[in-house]
Chains A and B, each alone.
Chain A
Amino acid sequence: MKRLADIALPLIVLAAFLGFWEWKVAHDAIPAYVLPAPTAIAAALAENFSSLMASLATTLTVTILSFLAATAAALALAILFSESRMAERTFHPYAVVLQVTPVVAIAPLILLWIGYDRVTLAETLIAALVAFFPVLSNTTLGLRSADFNLVDLMRLYEASRLQILWRVRLPTALPYLLSGMKTAGGLSLIGTVVAEFVAGSGAATGLAWRIVEAGNRLEIATMFAALTLLALTGVAIFAALSLLEYLLLRRWHESAIRT
């Protein structure tokens, strides 16, 4: 019953909102180049379905590649930081600089350096830079949060640093890593959109580029259709990562235990 309400209530609100939107557009005779009706957006989606799906695939590829690259690089750096204070002192300031510099500002530079002939690589790098930091800071914190007594116990049994890392520090960090990955999933999509905006026309044909293109042609309904697909992609990424978190933590971690 409660689960049903969890699904039904937001859907009722959505239906009411779309209904009002449809009615308002028809009632006030709002022109389609200002605000298209939901049915017009659905029609645009159906009409351009195959090309929009191709754009979705392009955007999704860059998003997933950048997400995986950011997670792998951040995890590796977090392990380095947690094992060596010296490495952290040396490199952490640069990680922060990278985080606080607006990536939109350096995106054109990255595109220029990597080249418009390798635009997927450039976009992946830009999006990965956006997604990188939350995984790094969360995982570093997690690796440091291992139970001191448990680490002492490992030392008593003459465990190597690698054994302590693998058996105690990494499992302790897993909930932190997953939490960072949930943030990074959304950020890698945002980063991909930014990268596609900056890359502009030419080889880039992702959903963000379709929004720009449709805007230039005043095909506002198509713009909304692409926007809807982007939003759904974001929701799907978040849902997938939440499911992964639940599956990995449900037996032992407080955060994943259903009340």
Chain B
Amino acid sequence: MHRTFGVVVLLAVSNIIKRFPSPHTDGGTEALCDLSFTVASGEFVSLLGPSGCGKSTALRLIAGLLPPDSGAVTWPAGKPPIGFVFQDATLMPWADARANVRLPLDLQHIPRAEGNARAEAALARVGLAAFARAVPRELSGGMKMRVSIARALVTEPSLLLLDEPFAALDEPTRAALNDDLLRLWNEAPARRGQEKLTVIFVTHSVGESAYLSSRVLVMTRRPGRVAADIALPPGPRARLSPEFLEIERRIAAALPKAAA
């Protein structure tokens, strides 16, 4: 399914090694060892792996929040604007939903009125138009995560990085947010003059990666490397259909066996 023509490489992760200091081992814990992959513009890539395999570390390296010990993340067409969604909604509890979503615009000194209008539009895209003036305390876990996604999208980024964003949510909320995320990814080119949205999605859920992705990168246990690079047929996919279960089976087969 990989097209060889017309593929624009957005970013390349090359031979990254990352260690963290640890009191238990000499030289620290090796989180990533020789991690390499490329992501093309417009892909929805899932980074799938067991807990502690370094997939979140990889995401932070791509975002530029962590420096690699060796290797590099390169951007052939320049580093694009990035949106980031954490596992927790990571909202400012003292600010209402609109002010939380407006934060990236405020940091760019965009006038308040324009910022408010754009923040309200972003909230409407995630179905929270009526909750612009609610503070996080007044919102459910799923709604807070929607606010967090709206904040990541308000700057119209070309690349969206999500670090296990739905791991703490209940199953129906998670399914609804999966569908929302797919819709936002699919409608991006129409909204923005054919410019596609690229998504890198960190998860430990086989089902979630199978449902969402155009491509799944399965990672090994720590230190993390790419164990399998699985391209998936274009969606949409019906959960529980035979084709979907076959995709899940292929991904699960590539996952490292659980430690005893």
Is the C-beta of B65 less than 8 angstroms from some C-beta in chain A? yes
In the complex, the answer to whether A155 meets B92 with C-beta atoms within 8 Å is no
Nearest Cβ distance between residue A165 and chain B, in whole angstroms? 13
Interface size class of A (residues with CB under 8 A): 20 to 34
Number of contacting residues on B, CB 8 A? 21
In the complex, the answer to whether A156 meets B92 with C-beta atoms within 8 Å is no
Partner of B93, one of A149, A159, A252: A252
- Closest residue of chain A to B83, judged by CB? A156
A226 to B34, CA, bound (A): 77
For residue B60, which residues in chain A have a CB less than 8 angstroms away from its CB? 152
Partner of B107, one of A158, A252, A257: A158
- Closest residue of chain A to B93, judged by CB? A252
For residue B90, which residues in chain A have a CB less than 8 angstroms away from its CB? 147, 149-150, 153
In the complex, the answer to whether B84 meets A252 with C-beta atoms within 8 Å is no
A110 to B64, CA, bound (A): 53
Is the C-beta of B88 less than 8 angstroms from some C-beta in chain A? yes
Partner of A252, one of B82, B106, B108, B137: B137
In the complex, the answer to whether B107 meets A149 with C-beta atoms within 8 Å is no
Partner of A167, one of B65, B93, B103, B155: B103
A246 to B65, CA, bound (A): 37
Partner of B135, one of A156, A158, A168, A252: A252
Is the C-beta of A118 less than 8 angstroms from some C-beta in chain B? no
**Chain A interfacial positions (CB closer than 8 Å to B):** 147, 149-150, 152-159, 163, 167-168, 171, 174, 251-253, 257
A-B contact pairs, 28 of them (CB 8 A): A147-B90, A149-B88, A149-B90, A150-B92, A152-B65, A152-B84, A153-B86, A155-B65, A156-B64, A156-B65, A156-B82, A157-B103, A157-B104, A157-B107, A157-B108, A157-B155, A159-B107, A163-B107, A167-B103, A167-B106, A167-B107, A168-B92, A171-B94, A174-B94, A252-B94, A252-B136, A252-B137, A257-B137
